[in-house]
Amino acid sequence: MSTLRGQGPALIATGLTDTTGDPLRYTPHDFRRLFITDAILNGLPPHIAQVIAGHQDINVTLGYKAVYPEEAIQAHMAFLARRRSLRPSEEYRVPTEDEWQEFLGHFERRKVSIGACGRAFGTPCIHEHACVRCPMLWPDPSQRDRLVEIRDNLLARIAEAKREGWLGEVEGLQVSLAGAEDKLAQMDRRASGGTAIDLGMPRIATVQPTQAEGTASLTQSLDDQQ
Detail the DSSP E strand segments found in 121-199. Answer: 137-139
Phi and psi torsions of 75, nearest 5°: -65, -40
CB 143 within 8 A of CB 165: no
Q: How far apart, in whole angstroms, are the C-alpha atoms of residue 133 and residue 43?
A: 47
Q: How many residues does the chain have?
A: 226
Show the low-confidence residues of the chain (pLDDT under 50). Answer: 1-6, 207, 218, 222
The pLDDT value recorded for residue 129 is 55
pLDDT tens for each residue of 124-181 = 776 655 678 887 788 888 888 888 988 999 999 999 999 988 888 888 888 888 888 9
Q: How far apart, in whole angstroms, are the C-alpha atoms of residue 5 and residue 18?
A: 18
Of all helices (H) and strands (E), which one includes residue 36?
helix 28-41
Least Cα distance to 140 among 119, 120, 116 occurs for: 116
CB 149 within 8 A of CB 183: no
- 3-state secondary structure at position 137: strand
CB 102 within 8 A of CB 121: no
Of all helices (H) and strands (E), which one includes residue 117?
strand 115-117
